[in-house]
Structure formats: C-alpha cells, structure tokens
C-alpha cells in the first residue's frame, strides 16, 4: 500500500492553522472493523512520537490543537494553531496491510 | 514507566552480520506485537519487521526478507533483530517500537552503519 502525503514542505506562521493530507492506494478498513491510520511527529534528534491512532484518537499528552480525520483512503492531520514546538516532520502510517508503510513525511517549519 | 531500549548497533562491513536487541520494561511485553522501524540518513521512516505476541507470525519488508530475522523472548522481555548479509542501504537508525498497527511508543534507536 502506497501512502502519499501532501504537501511535503509546509511553512506556517505561528498561530495559524496547518493541514497535512495522507492518501492510501488501498482502503485501510481492517477486517476487524478498525481503520489503522496513525500519525507520528518526528522532531530533530528525537524518536518518533505517536500523535493520533486509528484515524482520530489523540494520544495522551498530545495537545488538543492536533486532530485527525478521514476514512477509506483519504486522511488529514490538522493543527489548529501552530506553535514553535510543532516544528518537525510528520508521517502517516497504515497498519492495516502487510507490509506496513509510511508516507514520505511532511516537514513543518515556521515562516 | 513504559520503556524500550535498543542496543547492538555499530559499524559493520558489507556482507557482515549484526544482532540488535530491545529491552522492554513497564508494560506486559508478552501481550503486545512488537516492531522494528528504521530511518536512513536524510530519509523517512521505513517499517522493517513485526512479530506477534507469541512469535507465531512474523512479517518483513521485501528488502530484508531472507536476510533479517525478528524474534522475541517473552521471559526476558526482549525483542531481537538478527541482520545478515548487510548492505550499504541498511545503514540507518533502527527503532524498536511497541505495537504493529500504529506503534504506541519507540525507543531512542541504535545506529547501524554498513561500510563497503
């Protein structure tokens, strides 16, 4: 399954919203009824951090300015108001089909 | 506190072997799928392999099939990745991660460098 993110680079003004798209080449609805689409944040020098699991469930400790949505093959991660600490690369990943696959990554930077 | 700590990375010649280990603590290791994910220098994340709770199912990315073997020892709360016939393109930071459907948390990673 190919995961395609856009844009690959996202310059954002502090306090402004940001949106990242992730499209899969196949539907991500698992036979168990769940849709295993996950969003990760990768800051420089740090390990990846899971932000959102199963499309729209935010992990504990993740600010509520992050939200995930979508279904089928189209998914979105939104940041309602970008803060300086949000700089990094964001990846979507599908966990429905083998092999697992990641998007190319979207680099979020401050204008 | 849940934690996974990788070890075993280093510099190896092309064609050589290396065994990575991941020590888990703070959660019931035997209840979770586990995965290895890597990131080559300047590149994105690439899933490498996953293993079911009891080791009965193992999955690999095509580029490592036949060369890498994932295994686990639930009695020791440990995950392993045996890497044989290493190539330059295997150079990466290798992360151990809890889960396989959307890995919940990751270790700090261990660097594997394959030289020609």
In this prediction, residue B116 carries a pLDDT of 87
Residues 6+ apart with CB under 8 A from B49: B35, B36, B58, B59, B60, B61, B64, B68, B70, B81
Measure CA B18 to chain center: 11
In this prediction, residue A34 carries a pLDDT of 97
Write the burial class of residue B50 (CB in 10 Å: 0-12 exposed, 13-18 middle, 19+ buried).
buried
Which DSSP string corresponds to A8-54?
Answer: SEEEE-TTS-EEEEEEESS--B-TTS-B-EEEEEE-TTS--EEEEET
CA distance A62 to B110: 26
Q: Which residue of B has its CA nearest to A44?
A: B42
In this prediction, residue B62 carries a pLDDT of 98
Is the pLDDT assigned to residue A35 strictly greater than 90?
Answer: yes
pLDDT band, residue A22 (cuts 50/70/90): very high
Q: Give the bridge partners for B73, in sequence order.
A: B78
Q: What is the pLDDT of residues B16-57, one digit of tens each?
A: 999 999 999 999 999 999 999 999 999 999 999 999 999 999
Give the SS3 label for residue A91: strand
Average pLDDT over residues A90-110: 98
In this prediction, residue B87 carries a pLDDT of 98
- A-side interface with B, Cβ within 8 Å? 34, 36-38, 40, 42, 47-50, 53-54, 59, 89, 91, 93, 95-96, 98-105
Q: What is the pLDDT of residues B76-108, one digit of tens each?
A: 999 999 999 999 999 999 999 999 999 999 999
Q: What is the pLDDT of residues A66-88, one digit of tens each?
A: 999 999 999 999 999 999 999 99
For residue A104, which residues of chain B lie inside 8 Å, CB to CB?
44
Average pLDDT over residues A11-33: 97
């Amino acid at each position: 399954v190919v995961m395609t993110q856009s844009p690959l680079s996202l310059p954002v003004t502090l306090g402004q919203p940001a949106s990242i798209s992730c499209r899969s080449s196949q539907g991500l609805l698992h036979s168990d009824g769940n849709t295993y689409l996950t969003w990760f944040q990768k800051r420089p020098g740090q390990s990846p951090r899971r932000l959102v699991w199963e499309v729209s469930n935010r992990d504990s400790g993740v600010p509520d300015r992050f939200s995930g949505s979508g279904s089928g093959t189209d998914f979105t991660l939104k940041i309602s108001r970008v803060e300086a600490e949000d700089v990094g690369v964001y990846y979507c990943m599908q966990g429905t089909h083998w092999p697992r696959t990641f998007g190319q990554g979207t680099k979020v930077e401050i204008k | 506190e849940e934690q996974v700590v990788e070890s075993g990375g280093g510099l190896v010649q092309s064609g050589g072997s290396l065994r990575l280990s991941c020590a888990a603590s703070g959660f019931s290791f035997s209840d979770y799928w586990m995965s290895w994910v890597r990131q080559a220098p300047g590149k994105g994340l690439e899933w490498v392999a996953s293993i079911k709770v009891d080791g009965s199912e193992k999955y690999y990315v095509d580029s490592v099939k036949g060369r890498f073997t994932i295994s686990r020892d639930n009695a020791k709360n440990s995950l392993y990745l045996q890497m044989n016939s290493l190539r330059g393109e295997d150079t990466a930071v290798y992360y151990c991660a809890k889960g396989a459907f959307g890995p919940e948390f990751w270790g700090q990673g261990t660097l594997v460098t394959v030289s020609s």
